[in-house]
C-alpha cells in the first residue's frame, strides 16, 4: 500500500495559498498547528468566509496572513488590532480575525490590545505564544518565563512573564481562553467559540519554538509537547489571576471568560447615532 496520493488534496488546501506552501516556519514550530486549527475553526463555525478577513502583525506568526486564501492583511509591527478595529468599524459585516504572536500583540502592540479589549471591539484575537522573539533570533520577550535563557538573558530571565489571560480579562475582553498546540481539538473548539462570540475574543495558544527558545533551554520540540502533556492542567473558569506560566508548578489551560457585553459599535450607535437623532436628520 502506498501512503502517498497526490491526486487527493489536504482538507485545508481550499483555504491555503498552496503555491506558498511549504511555509517558512521551522521544523517543530507549533505555529502551523495553531494556524491549521484556526482555519478548521473558521470552516466549522459556519461564518461566511467571503466576509472573513485575517489580519496579522510582524513576526513568525505574522506570516499567517500570507498563507490564507481569504482577504488578509499583513500590517505594521504591533498594529494588527488597530487595523482590525478600523476594518470592523468601516464594515461591521466583516468577521475579523487577528492572528499574531506574543511579541507583536503584547510587547510593541500591548497598548492596542488593552484598548481593543476595553472598547470590546467585535474581533477575534489568536495569539501564538512561543515565549520569546523567535524571528529576530530569540531575544527575551514580555512572555519569557522567569529564569529562561535567551540570547539577551544568557544567565536566565530575571523578570516574570506576562499573564496574558489576566490582562485580557482585566481590560474587558468578553472571551478569554488558553490552550497549547497539543490540545488541538480543544484549541479548535475554543477558536470556533471565539469566532462566534460577540465581542473581543482572545485565545492564547502556547507553542514550542525549538530553534530559538528550545535550543537555549535544552528543550526540543517534542520535549515542549511532553511538557504540555505532563505539566498542564485543564481548569475551565479558573480565575485569571491564577494563570501564571510556570512549568515547574504547572500551567492552567481552559476557557476562563465567556460573557456578553455591549460592543464598541453598539455603544457608538447608542451614543452618537440614537434613533431620534437619525429621524431628525431624515426630517431635515
Residues in contact with another protein by CB under 8 A are 1, 3-6, 8, 10-13, 16, 21-23, 25-33, 35-37, 40, 181-182, 184-185, 188, 221-222, 225
**Cβ 269 to another protein, closest distance in Å?**
39
> Is residue 276 classed exposed, middle or buried when 0-12, 13-18 and 19+ CB atoms within 10 A define those classes?
exposed
Q: How far is the CB of 3 from another protein (least distance, A)?
A: 4
Q: Please state the closest distance from residue 263 (CB atom) to another protein, in A.
A: 31
259, 176 Cβ separation under 8 angstroms: no
CA proximity to 106, closest of 139, 145, 132, 88: 132
φ, ψ for residue 281 (rounded to 5)?
Answer: -65, -40
Beta-carbon count within 10 A of 79 CB? 18
CB of 15 vs another protein, minimal distance in Å: 10
Give the nearer residue to another protein in terms of CB position, either 63 or 79.
63
d(CA 37, CA 84): 20
Is the CB of 7 or the CB of 271 nearer to another protein?
Answer: 7
Say if strands 95-101 and 71-74 run parallel, antiparallel, or are unpaired. Answer: unpaired
Nearer to another protein, 27 or 158 (CB): 27
Residue with cell 472571551: 175
Q: Is the Cβ of residue 35 or residue 200 nearer to another protein in the bound state?
A: 35
Cβ 266 to another protein, closest distance in Å?
35
CB closer to another protein out of 36 and 87:
36
Amino acid at each position: 500500500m502506498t501512503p502517498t496520493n497526490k491526486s487527493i488534496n489536504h482538507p485545508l488546501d481550499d483555504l491555503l495559498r498552496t503555491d506558498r506552501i511549504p511555509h517558512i516556519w521551522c521544523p517543530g514550530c507549533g505555529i502551523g498547528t495553531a494556524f491549521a486549527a484556526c482555519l478548521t475553526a473558521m470552516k466549522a463555525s459556519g461564518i461566511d468566509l467571503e466576509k472573513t478577513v485575517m489580519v496579522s502583525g510582524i513576526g513568525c506568526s505574522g506570516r499567517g496572513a500570507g498563507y490564507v486564501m481569504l482577504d488578509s492583511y499583513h500590517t505594521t509591527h504591533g498594529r494588527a488590532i488597530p487595523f482590525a478595529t478600523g476594518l470592523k468599524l468601516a464594515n461591521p459585516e466583516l468577521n475579523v480575525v487577528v492572528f499574531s504572536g506574543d511579541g507583536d500583540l503584547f510587547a510593541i502592540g500591548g497598548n492596542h490590545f488593552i484598548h481593543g479589549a476595553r472598547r470590546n471591539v467585535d474581533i477575534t484575537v489568536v495569539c501564538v505564544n512561543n515565549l520569546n522573539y523567535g524571528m529576530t533570533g530569540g531575544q527575551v520577550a514580555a512572555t519569557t518565563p522567569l529564569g529562561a535563557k535567551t540570547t539577551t538573558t544568557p544567565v536566565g530571565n530575571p523578570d516574570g512573564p506576562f499573564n496574558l489571560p489576566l490582562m485580557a480579562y482585566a481590560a474587558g475582553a468578553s472571551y478569554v481562553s488558553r490552550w497549547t498546540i497539543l490540545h488541538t481539538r480543544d484549541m479548535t473548539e475554543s477558536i470556533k467559540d471565539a469566532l462566534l462570540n460577540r465581542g473581543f475574543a482572545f485565545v492564547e495558544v502556547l507553542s514550542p519554538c525549538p530553534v530559538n527558545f528550545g535550543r537555549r533551554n535544552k528543550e526540543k520540540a517534542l520535549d515542549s509537547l511532553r511538557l504540555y502533556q505532563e505539566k498542564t492542567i485543564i481548569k475551565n473558569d479558573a480565575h485569571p489571576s491564577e494563570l501564571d506560566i510556570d512549568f515547574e508548578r504547572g500551567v492552567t489551560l481552559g476557557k476562563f471568560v465567556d460573557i456578553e457585553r455591549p460592543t464598541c459599535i453598539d455603544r457608538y450607535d447608542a451614543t452618537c447615532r440614537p434613533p431620534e437623532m437619525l429621524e431628525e436628520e431624515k426630517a431635515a
